[in-house]
A and B are shown apart, each in its own frame.
Chain A
Amino acid sequence: MSQRHEADRRGAKDPDDIKRDTSAAVAGEPAQLTERQRAILVRLLRAAYPHDSFPDGPYERTADAVIAATADDQRLARTLGPDLDQLDVIAGGDFCSVDEQTVTHWLREYSEEPYFRAIRGIAVVALYDDHEVWELLGYEGPSVDQGGYLHRGFDDLDWLPDPRIEEYDGEPRPDIITSDTQGADA
Chain B
Amino acid sequence: MATGGGTIGGRRPGEDPAAAVIAATPRGARLAEWFDRQARTLFVMPAVVMILIFSIFPLIATFMLSLSRVRLRGGGYRIRYVGTQNYEKQIFGSEQWHFLGTFEEVSVLGWIVTAAAAALLAWWLIRYFGGRSGPVSVVGTVGRLITASVLFGLAFMFAATLFSGTRLGTLGVTLFYVVVGCGIQFLIGLGLALLCSQPIRGRTFFRVVFFLPLMVTPIGIGFTFRMMADTGKGPFAPLWQWFGLGDFAWAVNPWTARAFIIVGDSWQWIPFIFVVLLAALENVPRDLVEAGHADGAGSWQIFREIAWPHIVPVAATVMLIRVIEGFKLVDLPNMMTGGGPGIATESMTLHSFFAWRALDPAQSAAISYLLLFVTVVLCVSYFMLVVRKRAAVYG
Q: Do these two chains interact?
A: no
